[in-house]
Structure 1
Amino acid sequence: MATLKVPGRKVRTLRRHAGLSQADLAQRLGISASYLNLIEHERRTLTAGLLVKLAQVLDLDLRSIASSLDARVLQDLEEVFADPLFEGSAPADAEIRDLAISSPEVARAIARLHQAYAAAQASARTLATQVLDRQDVPGMPTAELSPDQVTDFLQSHRNHFPELEAQAERLWKDGRLEGGDLFAALSDYLGSRLGVGVTVLKVGEMRGAVRRYDPASRSLQLSEALRRGSRNFQLAYQIGLLENSELLDRLTRDPALASDEARALGRVTLASYFAGAVLMPYTEFLRAAEDERHDLDVLQHRFRANFEQVCHRLCTLQRKGAEGVPFFMVRIDLAGNISKKFSANGVRFPRYGGICPLRNVHAAFLQPNALRVQVSRQPDGLTFFSVARTIRRHRGGYHTPEILYAIELGCEIESARRLVYADGMDFANLAGVVPVGTTCRLCERLDCGARAFPSVQKPLTVDENVRGVSFFAPAENSEPNGRPQRG
């Protein structure tokens, strides 16, 4: 019988995640516990028949089991060893890949250790800056890693939470939200069901906030600066916090959220997820997205949501048997800082440092409010189609600074025709595809003119007589005997 190369360690990891003992899983597979033990210790191979049965027993996608490599683990390891700390002593790519495949838990531990190191470095720099500036130093920052922990938490759940979807659907039924003014219906639900009064106040009265809830008086205040869709979102968010508090607590008791700050941020993130599910109900939104070929403007108007809310909702459509297009999404500011990222399709975003400067999301700043399209290809050969646009955050009057972000939303090239933005594009001729990477340190494209740092693939060499397309991009030189060399 044919056999498939599935590491025994992966079988053991899947079994443990399912909460099964060796004896339990062996019984369900129809094999002995001793034989399963041999498989897990890689002294026996997993036959194709057993692989199919394993997928059925654990209710998993066959491809996720057959894949011997967790791409996220590999990316994290590559970023760890791209740190200048390992300059000249980093292990070879093959060794890093072998570690990610054979010992994924060890690889994750190394990544977590490096995260702690990076946080300590950031704290030290902050402390040094404060001391040099003669500022008071009340204490070292402790929550630098909380956003990363929440991102990992969302990624591990594929940014889809069925229980929150069910609660959003229940609210539509119990609150009788269908067919009326959503703001009025949600306000009435807060008042009649939860005893919460809703008031819209002037910008000055909100003292810098756009939403403020007082548990003692059971009063919710919203800023007049919020648009209609954002007001609806904040009402749904508050309902999510009040009615689903126990569910939020249970979901955030996840090993990925290792600190109180991360769990608190996780609650806020999940309450926002619930609010998005209320504004854009799963079945109705998925059908509209498919019917309108993911026309973001149409979806914004139909569901009274903003550009970012629609993009984020598209990234959550992963219900089993009713999946949407697997999208990736990233949001950055003018300085290139990543403030939101998610990938359901293999796009790789850095945990540390800036995103590749050739990505579509940067170009969006060149034409604010205009939608830009791009076809890009990663070093691993995966090709993607994306759209990008700026969004503005302006929550006050004349003296309140306007904050500009850019968002990129994309999918694999095979799904591009399902998007209206692909009309007129010749995907049979991809001569204009943009070669992108993760970060300069990790990117293997040595001839990139946008390179800002040397690649770990090639140690930095300085030749004062030759200049490439950028300082860190090597150029062809010639030795006196005429033989070319890299400089």
Structure 2
Amino acid sequence: MSQIAALGGRVRALRQRGRITQAQLALQLGISPSYLNLIEQNRRPLPAMLLIKLSDILQIDLKTFSTDADIRRTGELIEVFADPLFDEDDVTTQEVRDLVATSPVLSRAIVRLFDAYRSAARSRDSLAARLSDGQDLASEETLRLPTEEVSDLIQHHANFFPVLEEGSARVSRDGRLDTGDMAEQLTRYLESHCGVRVKLDQADAMGGATRRYDPARRELTLSEVLRRGSRNFQLAYQIGLLTQSDAIDGIAADPLLTSDESRALCRVALANYFAAAVLMPYDAFLAAAQAERYDLELLGHRFRVKFEQTCHRLTTLRKPGHEGVPFHMVRVDIAGNISKRFSASGLRFARYSGACPRWVVFAAFLTPGEIRTQLSEMPDGTRHFWVARTVRKARGGYHAPRTEFALGLGCEVRHAARMIYAEGMNLHTREAIVPVGVTCRACERMDCEQRAFPALQHRLKINEHVRGLSFYVPVDRC
């Protein structure tokens, strides 16, 4: 069934939610009740003009009919039902798809309920540990992690914030930041437009901080350990907090953020967005990225930014009519924890459990500092082209801790030829494809040597006399 045809269930659900009969809605749409019935039964497509009229009549956003949103919600629900809590229920992938198509509100409510359940479980475990340690129990933990809420907000906005792009352009224009020494120009802007004095200090005096702002004294202190690009970024970040506070507060007031901690973290993320937009102006950066075929290291040198900042900025190039490649990006540590995630390509990242170990982002730890590529295929047949490399964060001298992460940047394979890293690769041969999934529990592949958990779609069958590719591969397939 086509994606257009599959909208029928969504139309029926929205009509019923608005307590409108088929005859009433058909009259307002200017079609017969029988034709509307065929649309709702997915036996006729929903034309674009009817879709627009429907959104006006029901007073809904056209994004309600977004198939991308359906795909993301389906993936989230598959992961929800992959939890051992539902082992006895045998929920199928098709049942999940039907639920998303016909009951979008219920689907969203199930995900929120599961979020609350997971958060309550975390709080319970934390409470038990604190009780056993005799710790103070005065503080109360939030239902959802602030990092999750901020990631969801960024995804909701497609990681593109026009008001901050406009603000960065004004600062660049007023500060004449297009030529010369960027650090000097940003420092001068802070002094002349914000009344803030900038100074450098030794690492010991900073007490572990790399940037410290004193609002009372209007003084910004940067650590000596910051290199040129990082120093520029911190200067631009402070300008963002001081000059874009109204815009940032407006975005951070989104109901998706349910705690003060989430809103504070959102402010930091948005100030970082602004800083990247100042150092990598939209039009200039997009033009350079296209001309250099998304050569990440070359772009970093040209705009004097880090590898991670370059990857981040590429995911924000979503201006309507003036977009770059729709990338997804993920940052992981060596234990597999996902600390940053965003997807404009449709790829879904694990929300509740570990990611697939076959992703090239994990293999990047085997060759630190080197770029690795991968052509991957999801269980549904969708193919992606990946670029991955490790990044190291160090703060200080010999004794300072060094943190290693791996960054993965990817896109649908149809965009891969626009990237320099795909040169010489046959993007259509099956021999080059690495089969991957999202999580073990939700993955349907039964021929994976790295499977760590039984698949949701197959009951676990144990035969002590037979060993297959994996302990979790059904014996009848061995």
TM-score by length of 2: 0.90
Specify the SS of the correspondent of 1:147. Answer: helix
Matched, 1:173 2:181: no
1:67 to partner: Cα distance? 3.5
| Amino acid across the alignment from 1:340 | K
- Deviation of 1:297 (Å): 1.1
2:251 alignment counterpart: 251
Q: Is the Cα contact below 8 Å between 2:29 and 2:50 reproduced in 1?
A: no
* Cα pair 2:115 2:144 within 8 Å, conserved: no
The 3-state SS of whatever aligns with 2:459 is coil
Aligned-residue CA RMSD in angstroms? 3.1
| Residues 6, 68 of structure 1: 8 Å contact kept | no
Q: Which residue of 2 aligns with 1:478?
A: none
Q: Match for 2:49: what amino acid?
A: L
Contact 1:379–1:437, Cα closer than 8 Å, also in 2: yes
In structure 2, the CA distance between the partners of 1:309 and 1:36, relative to structure 1 (3 Å rule), is: farther
Between 395-404 and 313-322, report the one with greater CA deviation.
395-404
Q: Which residue of 2 aligns with 1:91?
A: 91
In the other structure, the counterpart of 2:222 is 222
Q: Which residue of 1 aligns with 2:443?
A: 443
Partner Cα distance (2:68, 2:323) in 1:
24
2:347: which partner in 1?
347
Structure 2 distance, partners of 1:365, 1:32, is 61
What SS does the corresponding residue of 2:387 show, helix, strand or coil? strand
Q: How many residues align?
A: 464
The C-alpha deviation readout for 1:454-476, integer Å capped at 9, x for no partner, is 1111122222111222222234x
**Contact 2:6-2:101 within 8 A present in 1 as well:** no
Q: Is the 8 A contact 2:68 2:346 kept in 1?
A: no
Q: Return the offset for 1:154.
A: 0.9
Provide closer, same or farther for how the CA distance between residues 4 and 463 of structure 1 changes in structure 2, counting only shifts above 3 A: closer
- Partners of 1:56 and 1:9 lie apart in 2 by 12
**AA partner of residue 277 (structure 2):** A
Superposed CA offset, 1:326-348 (max 9, x none) = 10100001111000001111111
Q: Over residues 415-465 of structure 1, what are the superposed CA-to-partner deviations in whole Å (9 max), with x where a residue is unaligned? A: 111111111111232312100000001000012100111111112222211
CA distance in 2, matches of 1:379, 1:283: 37
Structure-2 separation of matches of 1:299 and 1:92: 45
Counterpart position of 1:382: 382
Deviation at residue 284 of structure 1 after TM alignment: 0.2
- Shift in alpha-carbon separation, 1:432–1:90, aligned structure 2, 3 A: same
Answer yes or no: is 1:142 the counterpart of 2:170.
Answer: no
Q: Percent identity?
A: 49
In the aligned structure 2, how far is the partner of 1:128 from the partner of 1:168?
A: 47
Aligned-partner Cα distance in 2 for 1:143–1:183? 41
Q: Which amino acid aligns with 2:209?
A: A
Structure 1 residue runs of 5 or longer lacking an equivalent are: 17-21, 476-484
Aligned to 1:7, what secondary structure does the other structure show? helix
Q: 1:136 to 1:67 in 2, by over 3 A?
A: closer
Distance 1:365 1:10, change over 3 A: farther
Distance 1:376 1:68 in 2: 20
Aligned-partner residue type, residue 165 of structure 1: E
Report deviation, 1:48.
2.2
Quick one: structure 1 residues 134 and 400, their matched pair in 2 at CA, closer, same or farther if it must change by over 3 Å?
Answer: farther
The alpha carbon displacement at 1:303 in A equals: 0.3
- Deviation at 1:4? 4.7
Q: How does 1:320-399 map to 2 (within 5 A)?
A: 320-399=320-399
Moved more, 4-13 or 318-327: 4-13
Q: Check 1:340–1:47 CA distance in 2 against 1; reply closer, same or farther (3 A cut).
A: closer
- State the distance in 1 between where 2:334 and 2:153 align: 26
CA change 1:291–1:50 in 2 (3 A) is: same
Q: Is 1:50 paired with 2:87?
A: no
**What secondary structure does 1:70 align onto?**
helix
- Secondary structure at 1:171's aligned position in 2? helix
CA separation of 1:78 and 1:136: change in aligned 2, threshold 3 A = same
Task: State the match for 2:107 in structure 1.
Answer: 107
Q: What CA distance in whole angstroms lies between the structure 2 residues aligned with 1:237 and 1:159?
A: 17
Corresponding residue for residue 196 of structure 1: 196
Contact kept? 1:115, 1:145, Cα under 8 Å: no
Residues 434 and 4 of structure 1, relative CA distance in 2, 3 Å threshold? closer
Given that residues 308 and 407 in structure 1 are in contact (C-alpha distance below 8 angstroms), is that contact kept between their aligned partners in structure 2? yes
Change (3 A) 1:140 1:190: same
Distance 1:142 1:427 in 2: 45
Deviation at 1:50, TM superposition (A): 1.8
Given that 2:10 and 2:102 are in contact with CA atoms closer than 8 Å, whether structure 1 keeps it comes out as yes
User: Which letter does structure 2 place at the counterpart of 1:286?
Assistant: L
AA partner of residue 300 (structure 2): Q
CA deviations over 1:208-231 (Å, ceiling 9, x no partner):
111111111111111111111111
Question: Partners of 2:53 and 2:449 in 1: how far apart?
Answer: 48
1:128 offset after TM fit, Å?
2.2
Counterpart mapping for 1:6-45 below 5 A: 6-7=7-8, 9=10, 33=28, 42=40
Match in the other structure for 2:156? 156
Name the residue aligned to 1:276: 276
CA distance in 1, matches of 2:32, 2:249: 36
User: 1 CA distance for matches of 2:160 and 2:179?
Assistant: 26
Give the corresponding residue for 1:414.
414
Cα distance in 2 between the residues matched to 1:87 and 1:8: 28
SS in structure 2 opposite 1:431? Answer: helix
Give SS of 1:6's match.
helix
In structure 2, give the amino acid aligned to 1:141: E
Distance 1:128 1:122 in 2: 10
CA-CA distance at 1:254 after TM superposition: 1.5
- Structure-2 residue corresponding to 1:285: 285
Letter of the structure 2 residue corresponding to residue 214 of structure 1: D
Return the letter of the residue paired with 1:6: L
Contact 2:191 2:197 (C-alpha < 8 Å) held by counterparts: yes
In the alignment, the residues of structure 2 paired with residue 177 and residue 197 of structure 1 have an alpha-carbon distance, to the nearest angstrom, of 18
**Contact 1:68 / 1:101 at 8 angstroms: preserved in 2?**
no
Q: Give the Cα–Cα distance (whole angstroms) in 2 for the partners of residues 137 and 231 of structure 1.
A: 40
Deviations 1:145-167 (A, max 9, x none): 21111111111111111111011
Q: Secondary structure at 2:432's aligned position in 1?
A: coil
- Deviations 1:302-328, CA, capped at 9 Å, x for gaps: 000000000010000000110100101
Contact 1:388/1:409 (8 A) holds in 2: yes
Q: Aligned partners of 1:279, 1:235: CA distance in 2, in Å?
A: 10
Residue 76 of structure 1: how far off its partner (Å): 1.4
Offset, 1:72: 1.4
Contact 1:69 1:100 in 2 (8 A): no
Answer whether contact 1:143 1:262 (CA < 8 A) is retained: no
Give the corresponding residue for 1:482. Answer: none
